[in-house]
Every structure is written in structure tokens, then in C-alpha cells.
Structure 1
Amino acid sequence: MAMSGGKDDGSPMMEMNTTPLIDVMLCMLIIFILSIPVATHAVSIDLPAPSDVPSEVVMDPIKNKVVLTQDGLILWNGTPLNENQFVATLQQSLAMPTEPELQFQPEEFASYELSASVLKIIKGSGATKFGFVGNEQYRDFAAGPMGINPTTHTE
């Protein structure tokens, strides 16, 4: 009985046996897949602890708005400040008995470097009541392929 590719007269096979090579390749593939580190993306959020006791005193929240302009200005409730004045004003607001809410709103063409610097200052200050506002003005810029906005485009 002849083997695959051989002749009945006993001549050697002229083809290479690739089965062991495929086995080794599959084993290597499995080893590489198992050695890839698991990608874990975790964002830690400090959530307030639940309390059964409702607060008796309802305080009107104080809101401070930080606006970054395209001219490189930091506006605190409309008043222009430099970075040192901003740090001092932020520390004064955090020293209040009730921490005011800090709203961050960069303008459309504000400097990314200034935004990163101000956010680093805010994070380093320990502010806990912080939020981004005004993002709804950019919702129409989130166009899909070919400049089509998927929320308004109909076919």
C-alpha cells in the first residue's frame, strides 16, 4: 500500500510533511495568546456613602465657573486670573464651610496645554465637587463618516 505522494516502488516522498510544523505553530499561537497581559481599564470614582438620615438643612449650592478662552485667559466667574491667582482663589473657595461646585468650561479653541494645566491644578487642590459644563454646544461636531451627523441624518 502506498503512502501519500510516494510510489509503489518504494521511492521516497518528495513532499515535506507539514503536520509537525502546523502543530508547533498552533502551540506557539496558544502560548502567545495566553502570555498577553489582560487589559484592565479601571477608573476609580469616589462615591458618597449612602446615609439613611436625610439632611435637615437644605443649602443653596454655590457655583463657581472656570472658563478658558482661546486667548489663553482663565476666567473665574467672568474675572480674568493668571495661574497663581487661580490657585489662590481656588484654595479660598475650598476653605469655605460648604465646598462650592466648580464648573469647568473651556471655549472651543482654548489651548489644550492650558486646559491640562488648569485640570492638574484642580485635581491637586482636592476639589470634590467638580464638573464639565457646556459640552452640549459641541454635539453637532460629532459627525460620522463623510460629515454626516448620525443623530440628525435620515435616509
Structure 2
Amino acid sequence: MAFASPKADGGEAAPMSDMNVTPLVDVMLVLLIVFMVAAPLMATGVPVDLPKAQTKPLNEQKPPIAVSIDAAGKFFVDQAEVAPEELIYVLGQNAESKDRRIHVRGDKAIAYGKVIEVMGLINSAGYTKVALVSEAPGAATPSPAASTPAPAPAP
């Protein structure tokens, strides 16, 4: 609370009843800026100089097993052709555990049901990480048949 000073004519002035809040606002703005700058620094955690160890990574990822079905309906595990009834047996030889990733690649000329049938067969054998592989829209390579122009229709 502020008090009035005596008047120049020697009389006493009435006391002022309002408070000067300018220093309070200045302090609050400085605190706001300090907290805005310090908040991201507190979220990153405490800087710690970690020791180095000579160990393997804990989660060693092996490449997935590729099961392919070509346009003729033949089955392939990685690059080797297998009979449909031997597919699960060959997968068991290639995968050390049922948690190994398996990518199913089906030719676009075969029926969708055939791909789903193969995925169901692999899943029913206990393999849980089965995925379909497709080609990205921009990564398609033109086939030789697509590069030859089509003949013009006869008039």
C-alpha cells in the first residue's frame, strides 16, 4: 500500500489506496519464461555417463523366412521349392522357434483364397508372426510384357 507525500502547500494529501502491480507482473513474466525454458530440459532425464560393455544385443533379430507362391501355385521356402504337404515340416527345420517371423509372398495372378489358405496352415502349425508382403506402389518394376506396345485394333 502506498502513502501520499505531503503537498507542496504544506497540507496533507489523502493516502493512495491502490497498489503498484507492475513489479509483480514483471516477476511473474520472468518466472513464466524460466519455467518454459526449463520444462523441456527436465523431461529428457538426468544425464548419465553409461559404461561400455562387450556383449551381444539382447534382441537378436534374424531375417524372416519367406514363403512364396508363384503364378503356377508352387510353394517356395526362401529359394527352395517344396511340396504343399511338406511346407510345415520345412518351416520347422528353418525356424528355431515358433516366434520366428514368416513373410508370405503371393503372386498377384493366384487366387486370394490360396494365399489365405497358406497363411491359415502356417498359423495352425503354431507360428504366430505371419505377415503378407506386398509391393509399394512406386516400386513396381515393369515386366517385359508391359513394355511392349499393344497392337492396334483392326478397323
**Class of the TM-score when normalised by the shorter of the 2 chains:** 0.3 to 0.5
TM-score between both structures, scaled by the size of structure 1:
0.45
Query: Larger Cα Rg: Structure 1 or Structure 2?
Result: 2
